[in-house]
Amino acid sequence: MGRSRRTLPEELLLLALDPTTGTTAQPQSLDLGLAGAQLVELALAGRIAPDGDRIAVVAPRPTGDPTLDCALELLRRRGAPVRAVNWIGGPRLGLRQTYLSHLERCGMVHAVEGQMCGVLPTTRYQATDTAISREIKARLDSAIRTGVPPDPRTAALAALAHAVGLGKHLYPGNEGRSSRSRLRDLIRHDPMGGLVAHAVMDVQNGAAAQPRRTAPAGRQAAGPGARPAPEPARGVPAQPRHGSMARAVAH
């Protein structure tokens, strides 16, 4: 995989980054979404494939992206297909910070040091080129506005954005209600993106221990005609933080 193209985790993170505050929207569910975005990116690269509600490694060769290759190797070591909901719900120590640091090294964001309450050191991240984020969102806007089935990458990005609750960040207020609804509907255009997005929502709703109902034979669980999942309910318990942090990073 060449590095000329931004990966889905990078695009999802840039979508979530608030250009005014330098913080990320929906930080807890975003961590789950980044893990899910890695799965979709690996599937697009032909390294993994859905097997019912599980993920199977079909080509273990490296992609050239260190973070994706780490995830691929962990999947390979499982030795058998793993349920998407169990993978996404597993510990993801520092994944968001890993991608923020990567975006900083690539020159797409820069860190702004500060203090919380005048005491606790904080780091916020500002986009160095907001045109990149606008281009990413424009792809979603186009799919929502035209109704033309988007490419698998854009469909998966839309599914993940909906799953982690970015709809109200991207399309706020009553005027954005129809756009949020259409964003949700895009989940049906990519089976892998739909599988992962539903797994992200299941983890948020505490359903990781419950196997998903298997789709009828001959029909993908998140394929065309499947009922779209509702927007994540407000008040979903936040995911616990993994590990201690000496510094507060962008939330």
Q: By C-alpha distance, which of 122, 110, 85 is closest to 250? A: 122
Separation of alpha carbons 212 and 162, rounded Å: 19
125-164 in b/e burial notation, b at 16+ Cβ within 10 A?
Answer: bbbeeeebbeebbebbeebbeeeeebebbbbbbbbbbbbb
**pLDDT range class, residue 24, cuts 50, 70, 90:** confident
Does the pLDDT value for residue 189 go beyond 80? yes
Average pLDDT of the residues in 44-60? 95
Average pLDDT of the residues in 150-156? 93
- Tens-place pLDDT, residues 214-236: 444 444 444 434 444 444 433 33
Highest mean pLDDT out of 15-29, 107-121, 165-179: 165-179
What's the pLDDT score for residue 71?
95
Q: Which helix (H) or strand (E) holds 45?
A: none
Separation of alpha carbons 226 and 197, rounded Å: 13
Which residues, at least 6 apart from 113, have a Cβ–Cβ distance to it below 8 Å? 121, 122, 123
Average pLDDT of the residues in 94-121? 82
Global confidence as pTM:
0.77
And the tokens for 91?
């510990």
What's the pLDDT score for residue 128?
82
Q: Count CB-CB contacts under 10 A for residue 245.
A: 10
Does the pLDDT value for residue 213 go beyond 70? no
Average pLDDT of the residues in 203-216? 61
Separation of alpha carbons 235 and 89, rounded Å: 18
Does the pLDDT value for residue 81 go beyond 90? yes
User: CA dihedral defined by 21, 27, 29, 32, rounded to 10 degrees?
Assistant: 120
What's the pLDDT score for residue 228?
43
Residue whose pair of structure tokens reads 């509907």 in the numeric block: 185
Per DSSP, 248 falls in state B
3-class secondary structure for 127-160? ECCHHHHHHHHHHHHHHHHHCCCCCHHHHHHHHH
**17, 166 contact by CB (below 8 A):** no
- Tens-place pLDDT, residues 110-151: 888 776 666 777 788 888 878 888 999 999 999 999 888 899
Separation of alpha carbons 162 and 36, rounded Å: 12
What's the pLDDT score for residue 208?
54
Average pLDDT of the residues in 203-210? 72
Average pLDDT of the residues in 190-197? 93
What's the pLDDT score for residue 237?
37
* DSSP secondary structure of 96-139: HHHHHHHHHHTTSEEEEEEEETTTEEEEEEEES-HHHHHHHHHH
